[in-house]
């Protein structure tokens, strides 16, 4: 079994999961109060940083906005993880349960169960609302989790995981930020590194196996997934928490060159990777452009 690369990859990931896994319910001190005045995101990564709306805010309001932006991203994280868990379970339904590959897929579902509980606790500890997806995106998510297989399934997983990962790597390294969000980020980064390895490996195999029609369809679904994920990162209602009209906040963020640069930065690694695999092309590429993730 170990002679097959797919099995060898899964075997290594299973061993790594045994070595480094967290139980956020007990590994995080949920009762610790937030540190007064500490940001939840580096302020330069706020969607309004550098805009007139940002300049008009007090320091307390800026901290508060980053808290709601984090709660919005955590809400999006729960949404993506629920979709991803169902996709992996559907994949497992057809797999050989004695294979390491199938067993790793289940291990990843177990990781995501703990992550979604962690993000739920984070939102609760922040005292922020759950920022749910818009009804149309909610419906698209339901369709994706019920139907996606092959390249679009693994590409959608990677887009969500790698964009969040870019933010979380920066957060965990920044000692000026709230300790709670740094710890949540650290746990997520460590465990997601395995998921990214698994999905990248599987995606390469799926692209090689797919025919031209399936790939053309995949590019469209992948582009739409990238668009939804990006648009969903900061829920417009997060702006209302600091007294900014949601529509005005969203319009300011979309026009904000700092935020546009942040989005491109967060998606750089995965956009390059999917471009190399030929998955960011044709009509699907227009959706990446509209999402502000690629230029040209
Ligand atoms: Fe996760
Ligand atoms: Fe994951």
Which of 133-137, 168-172, 223-227 is least confident? 133-137
Which ligand approaches the C-alpha of residue 107 most closely?
2
Q: How many CB atoms lie within 10 A of CB 247?
A: 10
- pLDDT-derived band of residue 3, with 50, 70 and 90 as boundaries? very low
Q: So what's the pLDDT on residue 282?
A: 87
Ion ligand 2: residues, CB < 5 A: 161, 192, 195
- Which one is predicted more confidently, 3 or 19? 19
Distance 28 CA to ligand 2 centre (A): 19
Alpha-helical (H) ranges within the chain are 5-19, 24-27, 52-56, 59-93, 100-126, 135-147, 150-173, 179-209, 212-232, 237-240, 246-255, 257-276, 282-290
Average pLDDT of span 241-261: 96
Residue 255 Cα to ligand 2 middle (Å): 30
| Mean of pLDDT over the chain | 92
Q: What is the pLDDT of residues 23-37, one digit of tens each?
A: 999 899 999 999 999
Query: Mean pLDDT throughout 231-238?
Result: 93
CA geometry: angle 77, 83, 87, nearest 5 deg: 135
In whole angstroms, what is the distance from residue 128 CA to residue 126 CA?
Answer: 5
The ligand whose atoms approach the alpha carbon of 77 most closely is 1
User: What pLDDT is attached to residue 2?
Assistant: 38
Asked if residue 38 lies in contact with residue 66, where contact means CB atoms within 8 angstroms, the answer is no
Q: Round to the nearest angstrom and report the end-to-end CA distance of the chain.
A: 45
pTM score of the predicted model: 0.93
CB atoms under 10 Å from CB of 288, counted, come to 26
Give me the torsion for CA of 264, 266, 269, 274, rounded to 10°: -70
Compute the distance from residue 81 Cα to the ligand 2 centre, in Å: 7
Pairwise pLDDT comparison (47 vs 295), residue with the higher score = 47
Report how far residue 53's alpha carbon sits from residue 138's, in angstroms, rounded to the nearest whole number. Answer: 29
For the chain, the C-alpha Rg in angstroms (whole number) is: 19
Nearest to 72 by CA among 162, 139, 143, 134: 134
> How confident is the model over 176-208, as pLDDT tens digits?
999 999 999 999 999 999 999 999 999 999 999
Task: Provide the pLDDT for residue 4.
Answer: 52
In this structure, the dihedral spanned by the alpha carbons of residues 54, 250, 141 and 151, taken in order and rounded to 10 degrees, is -80
Question: What is the H or E stretch that residue 118 is in?
Answer: helix 100-126
Angle at 274 between CA 5 and CA 271, to 5 degrees: 135
pLDDT band per the 50, 70, 90 thresholds, residue 148: confident
């Amino acid at each position: 079994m170990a002679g097959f690369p797919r099995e060898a990859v899964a075997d290594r990931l299973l061993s790594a999961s045994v070595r480094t896994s967290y139980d956020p319910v007990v590994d995080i001190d949920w009762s610790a109060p937030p540190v007064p005045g500490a940001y939840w995101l580096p302020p330069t990564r706020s969607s309004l940083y550098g805009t007139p709306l940002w300049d008009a805010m007090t320091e307390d309001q800026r901290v508060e906005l980053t808290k709601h932006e984090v709660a919005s991203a955590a809400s999006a994280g729960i949404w993506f993880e629920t979709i991803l868990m169902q996709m992996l379970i559907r994949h497992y339904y057809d797999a050989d349960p004695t294979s390491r590959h199938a067993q790793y897929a289940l291990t990843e579902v177990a990781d995501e169960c703990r992550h979604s509980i962690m993000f739920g606790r984070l939102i609760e500890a922040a005292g922020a609302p759950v920022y749910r997806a818009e009804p149309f995106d909610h419906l698209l998510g339901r369709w994706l989790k019920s139907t996606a297989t092959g390249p679009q399934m693994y590409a959608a997983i990677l887009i969500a995981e790698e964009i969040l990962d870019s933010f979380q790597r920066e957060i965990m390294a920044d000692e000026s930020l709230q300790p709670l969000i740094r710890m949540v980020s650290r746990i997520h980064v460590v465990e997601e590194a395995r998921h990214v390895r698994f999905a990248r490996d599987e995606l390469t195999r799926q692209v090689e196996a797919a025919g031209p029609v399936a790939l053309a369809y995949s590019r469209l679904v992948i582009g739409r997934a990238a668009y939804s994920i990006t648009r969903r990162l900061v829920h417009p209602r997060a702006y209302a928490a600091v007294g900014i009209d949601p529509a005005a906040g969203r319009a300011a963020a979309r026009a904000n060159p700092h935020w546009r640069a942040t989005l491109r930065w967060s998606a750089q690694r995965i956009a390059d990777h999917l471009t190399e695999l030929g998955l960011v092309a044709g009509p699907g590429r227009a959706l990446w452009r509209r999402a502000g993730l690629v230029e040209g």
